[in-house]
Amino acid sequence: MKTSFHSLVVALGCVSLPGACLAEGFTIEQVLSAPFPSCLTSASHALRVAWVFDNKGERNIWVADAPGFVPRQVTHYKGDDGQAIASVRLTPDGKTIAFARGSEVNKEGTSANPQSLTKIPKQQAWAVDVNGGQPHLLGDVQCNSEECEDLQISPDGKNVVWPAKKHLWIAPIDGKKKAEQLEEVAGDNDTPRWSPDGKRMAFRSNRKDHSFIAMLELATKKITYLAPTTSRDAGPVWSPDSKQVAFIRQPGVEFKRPLIPEFPQPWALWIGEAQNGQARELFHSGNAMGDSLPLFAFQSLQFTNAGQIIFASEKDGRSHLYSIAVTGGAPQLLTPGDFDVEDVALSADKRSVLYSSNQNDVDRRHIWRVNATGSEPQALTRGETIEWSPVETSDGKTLLCLGSTATSPAMPYRITSTGRELIPKAFGIPAEFPQAELVTPRQVMFKSEDGVEIHGQLFEPKNKQRGPALIFTHGGPIRQMMLGFHYMQYYHNAYAMNQYLASKGYTVLSVNYRLGIMYGRAFREPPNSVWRGASEYQDVVAGAKFLQTLDHVDPRRIGLWGGSYGGFLTAMGLARNSDIFKAGVDFHGVHDWAIVLPEWSAEVEAKNAEAAPDLKEARELAFKSSPVASVATWRSPVLFIHGDDDRNVAFQQTTDLVEKLRAQNVAFEELIMPDEIHDLLRWNDWVRAYRATADFFDRKLAASGKPQ
């Protein structure tokens, strides 16, 4: 039955039960003490870079200048206030920074309020002078989806535009005038992109079942649509001379399409003329499943200075970069090999491509460069390190990135001819961070029941003694855990938590189950997965069987934990295999796919799902693929952790499962965070959640040798 909140979080470490506490070399606070960097960006005409440091929930913008790149703090927000900073942009001259602060709005139109203030904070656009002064308000942002913040500074550095409330808003960057609505075009308008000459604005006008690429001539307010059709057009990218726009075209929405069979997602690359709106096709995919729109299609689309357009395709089964001439012709493969490409950016002169990939190092990331017209790709970083988010200074002489290792957290680096060099000299890894006490996870591979090879990272205690073990499953599910600190803060924290659990004597196996990225499209898009059969769950069971082969693992004391999709797999393990998994911690997991099934992101797609001819069969299949379908065999205790303002996984998913477990007399505990969202906004909430997780496992997988 449910235990009291007091019993859940007794003390700050482990509870005082005989034999329940495992050894602890450092605290959760210490392993989460390093500031997390994000939003690394550079000025287009100045030798300056900027990024965000999240220091225990206190988020601020920092800059560094060539040649020394000594960091200095620009904003001075105080405290763990839960106000995220995103979409950081430097003006071309590097003198001013525009940014968004706060969280996107929920279905009720309110921003997150994790401090439970009596006045809910708004998500807003701000600007700040790099050389001093307080940030000044530009206007409200309040976008309505995760990571929807999209501030764009004009080429002359005088104005900022962003999407909000279905329209585009513009404000002078000096803050002397209020933001004004830029247009009154029908639809939900987003992804504004200035032409390099500053005379036009390209953007997507989303009309639900179709969408257009619109071009607004700023002087005359004239709107031109690029070859409008019934298709869905998106992702506008300008040519350097401001004469052309490249974009991606997909078919429009088909009504009453069956839900259970999976259909290909064909797509095409188009180029349009800014002067007259005429457009033509440059490339189109095939119609097979493998020809579908690649995962990183929009992030990879780049218009170069070499008469080439860069785009991503998975037509050979891996996520690779291709270039195609603006005049047309056959695409050229730039990144051949058995690996995948993720981050993509252009060099300062827009003639080469910088990207991250797992080439020759499948469970890490490194930075590479390739010429836009084709050449042998050049590895810029290598070895037992991880790098992402490459940016080049405006003179093309210095390349920077974010990076980590197995035992050092994410930090900004300068890439040199001999490797990488840590740039923070004023704000680095804190003395309390337990770097010397961390373990280096071991890469392991094992096969699932149906023969699929699965990769994992094995965290083993330094003092190996026969004891409990845990499976960790990431969320997404389109993610990959690596052999080091992660590039996403959510998983950077999870990696730190696995290190903490290992320090307490747990053997932890982080399982990169099918559906994840960087192992090819076939691995990421397997049959009979998610609500169509949850075939990925067998990878979790395979991970447990691997743990059972280790001499230092007690097979009677295996638990599992994870968040979001990892929470779903945690609940699946407890529901289907309480004989294997003796305890679990479920962070904001999906528990009933039948409820989620019609809840697509677009209103028209939700209506289409409700009208699908196989809706009844689909819901039955979705239910059978969910933890709630196996509640009758759920025996093991579980801890639920969920914020009740979750915008990714409805809080109802947890309230419903709790009542089902209560009826079955299954032991459960709860750590509910009022007004928190999916990706916890406050550092203190991460500490509370992880402390409760460790305490729960200490009590349920006790060191005495018998689950309690």
pLDDT in tens, 515-552: 999 999 999 999 999 999 999 999 999 999 999 999 99
Q: Judge if 67 and 106 occupy the same domain.
A: yes
Per-residue burial over 169-185, b = 16 or more CB atoms within 10 Å of its CB, e = otherwise: bbbbbebeeebeebbeb
Q: Quick one: tokens of 402?
A: 């974010």
Q: Judge if 330 and 287 occupy the same domain.
A: no
The percent of residues above 90 in pLDDT, for the chain, comes to 88
Helix (H, G, I), strand (E, B) or coil at 624: helix
Longest dimension (CA), the chain: 79
What Cα–Cα distance (Å) separates residue 14 from each residue in 9, 10, 11, 195, 688? 9, 7, 7, 58, 13
* pLDDT for res 481: 98
Mean pLDDT (the chain) is 93
Q: Is the pTM of this model over 0.85?
A: yes
Q: Judge if 405 and 458 occupy the same domain.
A: no
* pLDDT for res 609: 81
Q: Which among 47, 96, 49, 56 is positioned nearest to 75, based on CA atoms?
A: 96
Contact 194, 239 (CB under 8 A): no
The percent of residues above 70 in pLDDT, for the chain, comes to 95
According to DSSP, the β-strands at 378-379 and 152-153 are unpaired
Q: Which among 25, 10, 13 is positioned nearest to 432, based on CA atoms?
A: 25
Helix extents (H) in 274-420:
297-300
* pLDDT for res 125: 97
Q: H or E stretch including 450?
A: none
Helix (H, G, I), strand (E, B) or coil at 109: coil
Least confident among 65-79, 415-429, 485-499: 415-429
Task: Give residue 174's identity as a one-letter amino acid code.
Answer: D
Q: Judge if 626 and 665 occupy the same domain.
A: yes
Q: Decide: residue 471, CB within 10 A, 0-12 exposed, 13-18 middle, 19+ buried.
A: buried
Res. 602 pLDDT band, cuts 50 70 90: low
Greater confidence (239 vs 426) lies with 239
Contact 538, 546 (CB under 8 A): no
* pLDDT for res 606: 77
Task: Give residue 683's identity as a one-letter amino acid code.
Answer: W
Q: Decide: residue 672, CB within 10 A, 0-12 exposed, 13-18 middle, 19+ buried.
A: middle
Residue 489 lies in a domain: yes
Residue 667 lies in a domain: yes
Greater confidence (558 vs 610) lies with 558
Side-chain half-sphere of 540: how many Cα atoms within 13 Å? Answer: 31
Phi, psi angle pair for 701, to nearest 5°:
-120, 60
Tens digits of per-residue pLDDT, 663-679? 999 999 999 999 999 99
* pLDDT for res 13: 33
Q: Judge if 210 and 127 occupy the same domain.
A: no
Range of the domain at 479: 5-31+432-593+603-700
Q: Judge if 313 and 414 occupy the same domain.
A: yes
Q: Judge if 146 and 284 occupy the same domain.
A: no
Residue 706 lies in a domain: no
Q: Judge if 356 and 274 occupy the same domain.
A: no
* pLDDT for res 106: 87
Q: Judge if 612 and 639 occupy the same domain.
A: yes
SS3 content of the chain, % helix, strand, coil (to 5): 15, 30, 50
Average pLDDT on 242-258 reads 95
Q: Judge if 134 and 178 occupy the same domain.
A: yes
Q: Which among 189, 199, 276 is positioned nearest to 236, based on CA atoms?
A: 189
